[in-house]
Structure 1
Amino acid sequence: MTAGTYSIALRKRHYQMEDLRIQYVNLEKSENLKRHRTEGFSSTKDLVVRRGAPFRVSLLLKGRPFNPKNDSLRIKVMLGRLYVIMPVTFSKRVSSTHWKAYMDPESLNLQCPSIEISSPASASVGRYRFQLFVFTQYSQRIFAFGKFTLLCNPWCREDAVYIPFEDQREEYVQNDSGLLYMGTAVNLLSRPWSFDQYEPGVLEMCLNLLQVSPQHQKNTRLDYLNRNNPVYIGRVVSAMINSEDDRGVLKGKWSGDYKQGVNPSTWTGSGDILRQWAESGYRPVKYGQCWVFAAVMCTVMRVLGIPCRVVTNFNSAHDTNGNLVIEEFYTETGKKLNHSKDSIWNFHVWVECWMTRRDIGRGMDGWQVLDPTPQERSGGVFCCGPAPVKAIKDRRIDLLYDIPFVYAEVNADVHSIVVSKGQVLSHSKDEERVGSLICTKAIGLPRHQNITGDYKYIKSPTSTLSSRSSTMSEDSTLRRGSSAEMSVVLTLDKAPVAGEPVRFTVNVINKQSVARMVTVHLNAQTKEYNHSPSDTFWKTHGIIKLAPMEAKVLQKQILPAEYEDVVGDDLINLAVVVEDMFNQKCVLASEEFNIASPQLTIQIADEDSIVPHKEQTATVTFTNPYSHPVSGDLTVAGAGLIQGKVLFRMLPLQPRGRVEQQITFTPSVVGTKMLQASLTLTNIRATIRGFKMVSVNRA
């Protein structure tokens, strides 16, 4: 070996001994969570960031300093077996379509230089791993240094889920509680729900839902590639919330007992359901109904970064034969019969997600209907949507997905038919009943927002003969039937309230100049929101004489003692049939309504001093409105306020009696949280609810 060769080898050996090394990589979790508005996921082990925006990592270097002339860095980002390798450059220009890594040259003089990593706004959602490659003049080294979860980014204009206003993003992405609307269009019931997206483990469960899906199991690579598209994600999640075709989250049940699981009406949040599903090895949780399916889907979509809201369609049609007609049959005494495969649910709940629809052309961006309740197959599986709300309104049945089915849910006509011994006695049509109100929770407020006009063109009162009065207020109902000879109008005097008589008026009008004798049949049946009515629990009959062109008003009532033991949380189908005793011609008027339950009230001693990690006291109050004593079990919960649930047993409470229960809670995070309470009565089939929004301030 010559002296020159020996000298080069010695220098190389010395250089390698002092070579560049990376001792530690700091993911700067606190800073990145704040920058990406993912602070709610701080309990998650991995870093959680949103696509289309940079996140920063810092390096702890050992050995010699970084030399830009001889040294270079590359980052390998991996999703399953998919990966991309990007050089770390000194150009700060960010690409919205490619992965990019940037190092500030000035930071090279620091002990801990930093790198900003940017994902494209169309990157796939999921759990990523990433590695750092260090290239020097004499060596190449790999430093495996971390994982991160990448979500959609509604704050990024280039993202397909970008939604333009901050209050919308706060409500439809970040809000972890909300209200679900049930009952009837004229007597709305708001049910508090905890979406729980920031509760420990929920993020991981939502990501695992994608991993368990048939799409991922069948073709992992293709599934990962398709996860860049919220349309694809929405269809996967819609199918996975129900368990009809896969290892989905919820098993539906709409009748019978619920002894093998949980009565759907007792769920108060998504966290318990997702946790039970994951801990059981992804066996379906028993049981769900439409609002449970929708609320859990809302949680999953918000976790994944896709703006989502829960929507209720009142008088929702299920048109099995696609003719946009729902037929309802009654006896001549006003009893509703179960003679049709078609049905109308008093309410049906689905979700809307905000996204662009590049797959179907311009003009269909915005809110899209997705329905995880298993009703009809779409593409061979039980899912529904995304169907653009704009396409539903314009009946664009040529577009994807499932627009004809959703269109019928909000637009079908109702034909009411009175039959006796196989003969049709009367036939009437109602064009306004289906989709009479479509609503969601208002942004930032504990009340509903009417979005019916987004789905259908609202007819003006003067343009059509409607079965509803054009002057009807929101707290009254009106149904009418008419023939050439006579008409009948059925009016609830006011929205029925538990513990009070149901008072209503029947107005019978003779439209001819001939006197007539008529029989008036009144019939009331209990009805679950998604079934035909059950047996009659109240009825009355009478005969009245009508002079020529005369109108008679009948005042009627159903006493609490007559409905309390049979109605519970169910609804009432009330019908009146007026029959001409001479020619047996009939006129029918009917109404379905719910009885507003009492509410629990929640008060907090000092609302202005609520801060994290400081114990607070709340008082839950209930007044018994029923005509007999009641007892039950009180459950109090609140994501970010209470760990788990607090249970109390309420002893028998006399009519008009009042009971108070004090509870303590300790907030864990800053923000607006929902404290909710539910009282399940043991001797009445009813659950009483209440909620309180709690503002947790910084200490």
Structure 2
Amino acid sequence: MRSRRIYIIGSTSGYSMRSRRIHINGSTSGYRVTYDRISRTPRTPKNSISTFSVFIDRRGNIYGPSDSKPATTTISHGALRTKGRGILGTCMMCTLIYTVTDRLPRVSPDLQVKDMNLNVINNTKNHVTDEYHISETGKDLVVRRGQPFDITIAFNKNYDPKKDDLKLVFLAGDNPTPPKGTRVTLILSDKDEGKRWGACIVKNEDKEITVRINTPPTCYVGIWQLQVETIQKTGKKKEIFEYTHDKAIYILFNPWCKDRYKLAWTVRGDPVKVTRKLSAITNSQDDKGVLVGNWSGSYHGGKSPLDWVGSVAILNEYYKTKQPVRFGQCWVFSGVMTTLCRALGIPARSVTNFASAHDNDGSISIDCFWSESGEPIEKLNEDSVWNFHVWNDVWMARPDLPPGYGGWQAIDATPQNKSDGVYCCGPASLEAIKRGEVHMPYDTPFVFAEVNADKVNWELNEVNEFTIIGVDKRSVGMRISTKLPKGRTGCIEHFCYDTQREDVTRMYKHEEGSNEERTAVLQANQNSTKKGLYTEGKQSDVEFELVDKETVPFGNDFEILLKIKNISDEERTISGCISTSSIHYTGVTANTIKTVQFKEEKVRTKSDKVISVKVTFDEYFPQLVEQCHMKMSCMCRVLETKHTCVHQDTFRLLKPDITIKAPATGKIRQLIKAKVSFKNPLPCTLTHCTLAVEGPGLQEPNVLKQSIVASKQTFMTTIKFRPRKAGLKELVVVFNSKELSMVEGYCEITISA
């Protein structure tokens, strides 16, 4: 089949055009286009019709009439001619270039690919990727690197390895090349290549072969396109037939692959670099990433971070609009980060650190400045302690670090500080954090301070100098928590009602106050911006304790209790103040609720005294900000010894739980009803009520408007949905109102096919 390039126009001057479909092997292959014209040449009888036809295939190639000998073609503007064969057609203008062949296409006797089956169902089960939505359609394939998978190729005839050559070409990215590891050519082999790129035939019968593909544990993670090239070995002429499969192969990270740390990674295959980049693009600070952070309390033009139930709605909006989604705070950033990492095959979990330090100057200490009257000097308090902060742990090998520092690594997508000029954080080895080896990459000093910084209190005295009035070595990094994995028998420690909590504090730090813990702090301090640990002055002979508030139900009054214990042999006189305020979860004071001064309280030798301050609902409710975080503070001075003591405690008002009554089991596409209820604990009506509902595989993200809920009344509603996926699924609901927000509940439902 010989071809030439000619000019031809779709509709020519004086010609009418008609076409019909041409079928080859049962499928539409192209169109036969016929041009008719009443002849006006002197040689042709009047009113006779001249006709010529071409075949146009689906790619736009034009095939001329069939001839035993190739026609010699010349091109002239306005006419298409073949020497000795007359005029085929006359055009008005020359606009399109096509390929013209001497005859219509025929079915080649050479080996060609007719179809390909990626065996999605079996492969995804073997690779534990059958929960990916794109795999459920049975078309696109999701597999994990370093683990073989099988594909089936169908030909127009039997494959004979003695006569036919077969190549598989894997392509990734926009400009795939072998040096980048994004273009890989595989020659079929009769043996398994192990942990390298390779392909071997495991079955050959009935015009089909099954090929087992091996990918290395270090290969490029992303979307791959697969091409198949067939070459006829015999004969003088060798023709290459190329088949490109129209479905993608997604290759993910593989946490079960034990050999992944022994070889050099490609850039897109390095989980260290990938997760570090993910922590940057999850926020919008530098590169129009997924989420816009907002801690102002005003969310005009977006959505309150409290209203998000899951990451699906966020990522869908980002995909549709191609613009950062408004708004998020730390737990939202962490939730999105968990989804992104897991989608790529990287094990990830959200981690909550209570009393989380934010060290701005790299000193690995949190400095708090107080006036002589006991008020915080806000303009000097650049460091802060957040009530809680949420980041992520990801599991990976760390070949860039000494042995023993792999496993869980901390990453943080919340934009707090720049790292290498970009708002990102991690991955930082948990083992390095625990040992205080903050010189190891990445951002280990910052994470170490979050969980193990010392809190240093300074007082501005009467001569305008700052003196240390206390060093708190135990108040930062408490009850570090993650969700308990399914299958575990219990938690390490419980401090709340949540039985799904697992305590991971000992993965981040040694026992508080132990020699190992203090050694780690000293080790970290030697690599800080301010070497040398602060120490307390002379021990006081009066002890102060601000009693912790573990649970204060929202809507109730409560008391602040200050316990004073005189361990000296003399009477002591105490003066000071007790205050309570509403705060943002970042530790920043929002509103002062109540302050009580006390003067010259006498405490007899070897005795105790309790000072109490009552705070009513009517006093604290108007001053609250979202999430209902509060802080109690006291500053006490012993007049006889001039010793000053500062204590603080933060707590959150306890909100009710939502009760969900739903069947324990259900079936795909069958209607399920879930009854949702909770009692309003407040002595006021709840207004502007909404109920956010989400359940992957059960219910698409949705926000439903609700009616008002009167004081002490029970809110009730029914949710209806039809499950789309089988397995153990979780339905999550969140109630929000102007007066009461983040009332949460969940239930699990097992769905069968």
Q: Same fold (TM over 0.5)?
A: yes
| Matched residue type, 1:455 | Y
**Map of 1:570 onto structure 2:** 628
Deviating more after overlay: 510-519 vs 450-459 = 510-519
1:69: Cα distance to partner?
A: 1.4
Residues in 2 aligned to 1:286 and 1:337: alpha-carbon distance in whole angstroms? 33
Q: Structure 2 counterpart of 1:506, which letter?
A: L
Q: Does 1:99 align with 2:197?
A: yes
Matched letter for residue 341 of structure 1 = E
Asked whether the 8 Å contact 2:509–2:517 carries over to 1, the reply is no
Residue 460 of structure 1, CA deviation = 5.6
The match for 1:20 is 111
Measure how far apart 1:43 and its partner are. 3.2
Alignment equivalent of 1:142, drawn from 242, 245, 250: 242
What is the 5 A alignment of 1:111-510? Answer: 111-136=207-232, 137-138=234-235, 139-146=239-246, 147-160=248-261, 225-281=266-322, 283-331=323-371, 334-338=374-378, 339-419=380-460, 422=464, 427-444=469-486, 447-459=500-512, 484-492=540-548, 494-510=550-566
1:472-512 alpha-carbon deviations (Å, 9 max, x no partner): xxxxxxxx999635332111364222122323422123344
Which amino acid in 1 is paired with 2:277?
Answer: V
Tell whether the 8 Å contact from 2:364 to 2:445 is kept in structure 1 after alignment: no
Contact 1:425 1:584 (C-alpha < 8 Å) held by counterparts:
no
Q: How many Å apart are 1:334 and its aligned residue?
A: 4.4
CA contact (8 A) 1:481 1:489 kept: no
- More deviation, 410-419/670-679: 410-419
- In structure 2, the residue matched to 1:204 is none
Q: Kindly indicate whether residue 735 of structure 2 is the aligned counterpart of residue 679 of structure 1.
A: yes
Secondary structure at 2:553's aligned position in 1? coil
CA contact (8 A) 2:685 2:708 kept: no
Q: What SS does structure 2 have at the residue aligned with 1:336?
A: coil
The answer on whether the counterparts of 1:564 and 1:626 sit within 8 Å (CA) in structure 2 is no
Letter in 1 for 2:152: S
CA distance in 2, matches of 1:366, 1:488: 42
Who is 1:71 aligned against? Answer: 164
AA of the residue aligned to 2:708: L
1:420 shift after superposition: 6.3
**SS of residue matched to 2:556:** coil
Distance 2:661 2:314 in 1: 28
Determine whether 1:695 maps to 2:750.
yes
Aligned partners of 1:101 and 1:117 also within 8 Å = yes
- 1:552 paired with 2:609, answer yes
Q: Distance in 2 between matches of 1:627 and 1:335?
A: 32
Counterpart of 2:166 in structure 1: which amino acid? Answer: L
Quick one: which amino acid aligns to residue 94 of structure 1? E
Match of 2:151 in 1: 57
Change (3 A) 1:482 1:333: farther
Name the aligned partner's letter for residue 320 of structure 1: N
Please tell me whether the aligned partners of residues 336 and 533 of structure 1 are also in contact (alpha carbons under 8 angstroms). no
Q: Which residue of 2 aligns with 1:668?
A: 724
Residues in 2 aligned to 1:299 and 1:383: alpha-carbon distance in whole angstroms? 17
Q: Deviations over 1:348-391 (max 9, x none)?
A: 11111111111123111101111111222222211111111111
Match of 2:180 in 1: none
Residue identity in the other structure for 1:25? M
1:153–1:161 contact (8 Å) kept in structure 2: no
Question: Quick one: structure 1 residues 331 and 535, their matched pair in 2 at CA, closer, same or farther if it must change by over 3 Å?
Answer: farther
Could you tell me how far apart the structure 2 residues matched to 1:268 and 1:408 are? Answer: 30
The answer to whether the aligner puts 1:41 opposite 2:144 as a matched pair is no
Displacement after TM superposition at 1:464 (Å):
10
Deviation at 1:262, TM superposition (A): 1.6
CA pair 583-117 structure 1, distance change in 2 beyond 3 A: closer
1:294-332, Cα deviation, whole Å (9 max, x unpaired): 111111110000111111122222222222221223445
Counterpart secondary structure, 1:279 = helix
- CA distance in structure 2 between the partners assigned to 1:404 and 1:494 by the alignment: 31
Cα gap change, 1:304 to 1:510, in 2 (>3 Å): same
Q: Within 2, Cα distance between the matches of 1:142 and 1:508?
A: 85
The count of aligned residue pairs is 600
Question: Distance between the aligned counterparts of 1:229 and 1:393, measured in 2?
Answer: 24
Q: Is the 8 A contact 1:413 1:431 kept in 2?
A: yes
Amino acid of the residue matched to residue 103 of structure 1? I
**2 CA distance for matches of 1:357 and 1:453?**
20
Give the deviation of 1:603 after TM superposition.
1.1
Contact map agreement 2:585 2:627 (CA 8 A) in 1:
no
> Aligned with 1:233: secondary structure?
helix
Post-superposition CA distance 1:30-80 (Å, at most 9, x none): 2222222111124355221111122222122224x2222111211011112
Partner residue in 2 for 1:617: 673
Query: What TM-score do you get using the length of structure 1 for normalisation?
Result: 0.80
Secondary structure at the counterpart of residue 653 of structure 1: coil
One-letter amino acid of the structure 1 residue matched with residue 335 of structure 2: A
Shift in Å, 1:392: 1.1
Structure with greater Cα Rg: 2
Q: Is the 8 A contact 2:354 2:389 kept in 1?
A: yes
Give deviations 1:68-98, integer Å, cap 9, x for gaps.
211121101111213111111222x2320x2
- The partner residue of 2:206 within 110, 126, 138 is 110
Whether the aligned pair in 1 keeps the contact of 2:309 and 2:693 (CA below 8 Å) is no
Contact residue 469 and residue 537 of structure 2 kept, 8 A: no
Where structure 1 has 5 or more consecutive residues not aligned to the other structure, the ranges are 1-14, 163-221, 466-479
Aligned pair in 2 of structure 1 residues 123, 573: CA closer, same or farther (>3 Å)?
Answer: same
Change (3 A) 1:460 1:392: closer
1:103, CA displacement in angstroms?
1.1
Q: Distance in 2 between matches of 1:378 and 1:423?
A: 34
Checking the alignment, whether the CA contact within 8 Å between 1:634 and 1:678 is kept in structure 2 is: yes
Kindly indicate whether structure 1 or structure 2 has the higher relative contact order, using CA contacts under 8 Å at least 6 residues apart. Answer: 1
How far apart, in 1, do the equivalents of 2:120 and 2:699 lie? 25
> Residues 393-417 of structure 1, C-alpha deviation per residue, up to 9 Å, x if partnerless?
1122332211122112212111123
Q: Does the 8 Å contact 1:440/1:448 carry over to 2?
A: yes
Structure 1 SS opposite 2:316: helix
Q: Which residue of structure 2 lines up, in the alignment, with residue 8 of structure 1? A: none
Q: How far apart in 2 are the matches of 1:17 and 1:510?
A: 101
Aligned to 1:200: none
Contact in 2 for aligned 1:51/1:121 (Cα 8 Å): yes
Report the equivalent of 2:190: 90
The percent of aligned pairs where both chains have the same amino acid is 30
Where do residues 534-553 of structure 1 align in structure 2 (5 Å cutoff)? Answer: 534-543=590-599, 544-553=601-610
Q: Is the 8 A contact 2:480 2:503 kept in 1?
A: yes
